[in-house]
Chains A and B, each alone.
Chain A
Amino acid sequence: MALLATVALSACYGHVEALKPTDIRVEDGEFVAVLGPNGAGKSTLMRAIMGLVPNRGAVHFHDEALPRRDPAALASRGVILVPEGRGIFGPMSVAENLELGAYLVGRHTAEFESRLARVLALFPRLRERLSQTAGSMSGGEQQMLAVGRALMANPRILLLDEPSLGLAPRVTAEILETLGELNRQGLSVILVEQKAPLALRLANRAYLLSLGKIVAEINPREVQSYDEIARYYFAT
């Protein structure tokens, strides 16, 4: 039984079908990458799973069909997205952002304290910035906050949409390393990424999207060279 599976999930922007009927699945504890060039439909797939865009088809979580236009309901089940552009609450403090990540738990609980301690251990830089306005931090720190905030929700599966966007390679490596560590601890991850080599280094499996549909399913261990993947990128 897959932890999360989409069944003929499609999404439209107006009359444009940005995501054609798509089936993907993620097993418990699996790290799945979603690769593809700009405009391939990767972000739309994530947004459709979360119900942020009008969509058709179904999303199953532990075989339960998830509501299709209710991102808050998905969050309450532990399906958490770190959106493209991070979606942090810029005018609020880092501490408030983290608190909102655990909105469903509430601040004055032992569970909250334990989650906060875990996040601050993973991203010690956030501890130094707790009272700072989130929007005043560097891009890398904001991305750490976005991931940290997502972890405050104690996700069963974490969806990340291009976390490397606009970040220095060193910071990207640091964040992806943390994701790898979280996955080794049992967290299921879907990582949307344009930079295929980065994602394939961590993933157990990858889907390649092009023009809104899945064109290949890849086992990273069988990838001999990235030329084959690049062919899909440029075939559009």
Chain B
Amino acid sequence: MNEISYIIQVLVSGLGLGCIYGLIGIGYCVIYNASGIVNFAQGAFVMLGGMITQLLLWNHGVPLLLSGAIAVACVVAIAIVIERIVVRPLWDRNASTFVMILATLAVQIVLEGATLLIAGDQPKTLPVFTDLPPLRIGTVAISYQLIWIAAASAVIIFGLAAFFGHTRVGKAMRACAINREAAALQGIRVSTMLMMAFALSAALGAIAGILVTPTQVTAFNVGLPFAIAGFIAAIVGGFGRPFGAFLGGLALGVTQAGAVVVFGSGFKSGAALAVLLIFLFVRPQGILGTAK
């Protein structure tokens, strides 16, 4: 493989991971827009998506597709419980952003601990969805799992665009993002929108977790790195801009892949934080955000 093909190969892999970061980043934005809350338990949704699917598939023999669907439903249910017993009481008391971040981070840690107790500390994985040799375009190999990730991301992006642009609830959530008080004056129950936002973002996180697990292992402690990557994607895209977050995720994935090639795998996290710092210094409003 020549150098150009190698670079393209790395970029393609980076885009795959970037799609996952993007989906997690969208999850942050959906909740933030509905409530102003930065939910650091987002990474736990990713971890739980992969872990529950793995558990159902290997321990109970449930087919992969059904396992995935049940896992998404379970993660959504867990998210609604978290919203009800942790987030809502604090939100009703006008808790500060700092308190909310700490509370959701605590939820992340509790969910990690519970997963450790239930599933153990051994890394787990899922089989690839399509077990065929990689597709070859010239000298660049594209795995079918990568195609699954890209295709699912595209479907989700278009689905979200349709949801926010054409459905009553989607428009109500956008209204909450713009002006929560004015939304409430139209009869929109902002607290219900918050619950729906948690459910939606949990579903996105769980799907991301199911998609990414076959390309790498999952374990009780993979959530936080994903949470940080998704958070950076959301900042890079312009916090509160779902499609910006997806672009931010792609940019982050490609940058990380490039950094691994140039500096080695030890610089993967460093590259992500460097991207965050560059954006905070140079363009704090992100790719799609407007200056304030």
Interface residues on A, range: 20 to 34
**Residue on A nearest B178 in the bound complex, by CB:** A89
**Residue on B nearest A90 in the bound complex, by CB:** B178
CB proximity to A under 8 Å, residues B152-205 = 168, 171-172, 174-175, 178-179, 181-190
Instruction: Tell me whether A83 and B171 are in contact (CB under 8 A).
Output: no
27 of the cross-chain contacts (CB-CB < 8 Å) are A52-B181, A52-B184, A72-B186, A72-B187, A75-B185, A75-B186, A80-B185, A83-B185, A87-B179, A87-B181, A88-B182, A89-B174, A89-B182, A90-B178, A91-B174, A91-B178, A92-B175, A92-B178, A99-B168, A100-B183, A100-B188, A103-B168, A103-B186, A104-B187, A106-B168, A107-B168, A153-B186
Instruction: Tell me whether A72 and B184 are in contact (CB under 8 A).
Output: yes
Interface centre among B168, B174, B175, B182 (most CB of A within 10 A): B182
CB proximity to A under 8 Å, residues B97-155 = none
Given the known interface contacts A92-B171, A92-B174, A107-B168, the answer about A83 and B186 at a Cβ–Cβ threshold of 8 Å is no
Chain A 61-75 near chain B by CB (<8 Å), digits 1 or 0: 000000000011001
Interface centre among A50, A76, A89, A90 (most CB of B within 10 A): A89
Instruction: Tell me whether A149 and B186 are in contact (CB under 8 A).
Output: yes
Smallest CB separation, A58 vs chain B (Å): 20
**Could you list which residues of chain A lie within 8 angstroms of chain B, going by C-beta atoms?**
50, 52, 71-72, 75-76, 80-81, 83, 87-92, 96, 99-101, 103-104, 106-107, 149, 153
Inter-chain CA distance A90–B175, complex, in Å, is 9
Chain A residues whose C-beta falls within 8 Å of the C-beta of B182 in the assembled complex? 83, 87-89
Pick the contact of A81 from B168, B185, B189 — CB < 8 Å? Answer: B185
Instruction: Tell me whether A99 and B184 are in contact (CB under 8 A).
Output: no
**Residue on A nearest B191 in the bound complex, by CB:** A72
**Could you list which residues of chain B lie within 8 angstroms of chain A, going by C-beta atoms?**
168, 171-172, 174-175, 178-179, 181-190
Inter-chain CA distance A101–B186, complex, in Å, is 5
Chain B residues whose C-beta falls within 8 Å of the C-beta of A96 in the assembled complex? 171
**Residue on B nearest A87 in the bound complex, by CB:** B182
Inter-chain CA distance A153–B182, complex, in Å, is 13
Instruction: Please list the 8 inter-chain residue pairs (A to B) with the smallest Cβ-Cβ separation, ordered nearest first.
Output: A87-B182, A75-B187, A71-B184, A104-B187, A89-B178, A103-B186, A72-B189, A100-B186
Instruction: Tell me whether B185 and A50 are in contact (CB under 8 A).
Output: yes
Chain A residues whose C-beta falls within 8 Å of the C-beta of B178 in the assembled complex? 89-92
Given the known interface contacts A72-B190, A92-B178, the answer about A87 and B185 at a Cβ–Cβ threshold of 8 Å is yes
Given the known interface contacts A52-B181, A103-B168, the answer about A89 and B175 at a Cβ–Cβ threshold of 8 Å is yes
Pick the contact of A103 from B174, B179, B181, B187 — CB < 8 Å? Answer: B187
Given the known interface contacts A106-B168, A107-B168, the answer about A100 and B184 at a Cβ–Cβ threshold of 8 Å is no
Chain B residues whose C-beta falls within 8 Å of the C-beta of A72 in the assembled complex? 184-190
Smallest CB separation, A207 vs chain B (Å): 22
Smallest CB separation, A87 vs chain B (Å): 3
Instruction: Tell me whether A100 and B181 are in contact (CB under 8 A).
Output: no
**Residue on B nearest A88 in the bound complex, by CB:** B182
Smallest CB separation, A148 vs chain B (Å): 12
Smallest CB separation, B22 vs chain A (Å): 22
Chain A residues whose C-beta falls within 8 Å of the C-beta of B183 in the assembled complex? 89, 100
**Residue on B nearest A152 in the bound complex, by CB:** B186
Given the known interface contacts A89-B178, A89-B179, the answer about A71 and B185 at a Cβ–Cβ threshold of 8 Å is yes
Inter-chain CA distance A91–B174, complex, in Å, is 9
Chain B residues whose C-beta falls within 8 Å of the C-beta of A71 in the assembled complex? 181, 184-185
Instruction: Tell me whether B171 and A99 are in contact (CB under 8 A).
Output: yes
Chain B residues whose C-beta falls within 8 Å of the C-beta of A81 in the assembled complex? 185
Smallest CB separation, A52 vs chain B (Å): 6
Inter-chain CA distance A71–B188, complex, in Å, is 9
Instruction: Tell me whether B181 and A83 are in contact (CB under 8 A).
Output: yes
Inter-chain CA distance A96–B166, complex, in Å, is 10
Chain B residues whose C-beta falls within 8 Å of the C-beta of A101 in the assembled complex? 186
Chain B residues whose C-beta falls within 8 Å of the C-beta of A149 in the assembled complex? 186
Chain B residues whose C-beta falls within 8 Å of the C-beta of A80 in the assembled complex? 185
Inter-chain CA distance A25–B71, complex, in Å, is 55
Chain B residues whose C-beta falls within 8 Å of the C-beta of A107 in the assembled complex? 168
Smallest CB separation, A44 vs chain B (Å): 14
Smallest CB separation, B55 vs chain A (Å): 40
Given contacts A75-B185, A89-B175, A100-B175, 7 further A-B contacts (CB under 8 A): A52-B181, A83-B182, A83-B185, A87-B182, A100-B183, A104-B187, A153-B186
